[in-house]
Amino acid sequence: MGKTPRFEQARSHQRNPLPSSIFVERLNSMGIHSLSLTVLLLAAVSQAAPLNAATDPRAPAREPMAELVYRQVLLDGGIPELKTACADAALFGFNLRLQELRNRLIDIAPAPQPFEAVIANAEALMVCKAPASTQTVLSRISPAPGSQRRAWLRLSWQAANASLDHAQAALALRRLANGDLTALNFEQLTVGYGDDGLPLTRAALDLLVEHELSLDRSAEAVMVLFAGRERGALGARRLALAAELLQGLGNDQHSTLLESALDQAAADQAWGLAEDLLRLQLKFDLAAGGDGLRPRQRLERLANRLDDRYTLWELVRGDLDQQDAATLLEQELRSPRQPGGHAAVEAHQSAPPVSVPSEFK
C-alpha cells in the first residue's frame, strides 16, 4: 500500500482533527473574514506537538502556520505573536518568513522602551535566529546593578555567543562577574538542549576561558583558570590547561602570571591552590634547566606550615640523600581524611585564616 498522505495522518488523530489552513478556509466560506490575532494563532498552533515530538514517533504531524494567519501576524502582531511565528518558521525552515519577522521585530519597539519590553523583543529575535539583531536591541539599555542587569548580561552573552562574537561574549561574562571571576564558577549558562529536551549547561568560567582563547588571549585565559578554585577532576583539568597555556608563553610572562596567581591564592587563603601553583612553578623551573631550588623551598615551607606531610613526602622521595626522611614521612603519613593527611589542605580553605610566613611570597 502507498504511504498515507500527511493530511490523512493528521485527520486520524482525534487531538488535532483539523489543519489550520482548512480551518481558515471554512471560516472564509462562512463569510467570516476578519478574526482577532488570538483566534488566528489559536488555530495555527492548535496542532502543536509536545516538546519531545521530534523524538516521539507517535506524536501527531504538525502543519506550519497558514499563510493567511502568518500575514496577519506579520502585519498586526505584537512581540508575543511574532515570537510564536518565529518559532513556527524556524521549525519548518521558512527562511523568508524568518527574515520578514526579523525585520519587523527590529523596528517594532524603537527606543526608549522599558526593560521588560526590550528583553521580550530580544528574546523573540533569538527565537527568530537573529543573535546579531538581539545584540542591537539589548544595546538600547544598560540596567543598574541588580537582578535586571544580571538577566540582561546573561541574554547579552547568549546573543554574542550565538553570533560567535567572542569579544562581546567575554565582556558580558566579565561584567557578570563584577570583578570576582571566581563567581563565574557558580554561574551556569545554557549552551544547548539534549535529546530529552532538557537544557545543557556549563560553568560561565569555562566559557570565558574559551572566549579568551578564541581571541588569542592566552594570558587572560590562564588567569581565569586560576580563579576556578576547584578541586577534583575539574580542577585538575583546568590546571592542566593552564600549564599547557603557560608553556606556550615566554618564560618571563608565565613567571609573572604564576606570581600573580600565587598572590591571589594567598589573599583568599586558598592554600591547596597555592601548593598546586608552586608545583607548576617547580616544574617549569626544572624544564627550563634550573635547579628548582626556590619553588621547592617555598612549597616545603608552605607544606610544613599546613602540616601537609604528603606534599613533604613527594618533595623528598626522589632525593637519594633524603631517603631516611622519606621513609619516616611515609611511615607517619596519615589517612587522607585525617588532620595532617594530604587531603587536609582542603580543610584549611574553609578554616580560620592561617598565618603563612612572609618568605612564602
| Strand, coil or helix: 295 | helix
State residue 184's pLDDT score. Answer: 97
Q: Measure the CA–CA gap between 77 and 87, rounded to whole angstroms.
A: 14
Judged against a pLDDT cut of 90, whether residue 47 lies above it is answered with no
Cβ pair 292, 286 in contact under 8 A: yes
Give me the residues paired with residue 200 across strands: 192
- The predicted pLDDT at position 60 comes to 60
pLDDT higher for 322 or 352? 322
pTM of the model: 0.68
Of 131-145, 231-245, 277-291, give the range with the top mean pLDDT: 131-145
Q: Which residue has the higher pLDDT, 276 or 209?
A: 209
Asked which of 14-18, 97-101, 240-244, 331-335 is least confident by mean pLDDT, the reply is: 14-18
Task: Quickly state the pLDDT bin for 352 (edges 50, 70, 90).
Answer: very low
pLDDT exceeds 90 at position 343: no
pLDDT in the model for residue 312: 81
pLDDT higher for 164 or 238?
164
Q: In the chain, what percentage of residues exceed pLDDT 70?
A: 70
Q: What confidence score (pLDDT) does residue 31 get? A: 46
Burial class (CB in 10 A: 0-12, 13-18, 19+), 305: middle
Write out the three cell numbers for 43. 488555530
Q: How do beta strands 199-203 and 188-193 pair?
A: antiparallel
Report the pLDDT averaged over residues 291-315: 87
- In tens, the pLDDT along 269-299 reads 888 888 988 998 898 888 888 999 999 999 9
pLDDT at residue number 41: 55
pLDDT at 333: 58
Among residues 358, 345, 203, the alpha carbon closest in space to that of 270 is found at 345
* H-assigned helices in the chain: 6-12, 20-29, 37-45, 67-76, 79-92, 95-108, 115-127, 131-138, 147-162, 166-177, 204-214, 218-226, 232-247, 251-267, 271-287, 293-306, 309-316, 323-332, 344-350
Task: Return the domain boundaries, the chain.
Answer: 64-141
Please check the confidence at residue 128 and state whether its pLDDT lies above 80.
Answer: yes
Average pLDDT over residues 56-64: 67
pLDDT at 358: 53
* Whether pLDDT at 7 is above 70: no
Q: CA torsion angle for 116, 117, 118, 122 (degrees, to 10)?
A: 100
Minimum mean pLDDT among 47-51, 79-83, 157-161: which range?
A: 47-51
Going by pLDDT thresholds of 50, 70 and 90, the confidence category of residue 131 is: very high
Residue 188, pLDDT score: 97
What's the rounded mean pLDDT across residues 55-59? 52
Positive or negative torsion for Cα 245, 251, 255, 256: negative
Q: How far apart are the first and last CA of the chain?
A: 82
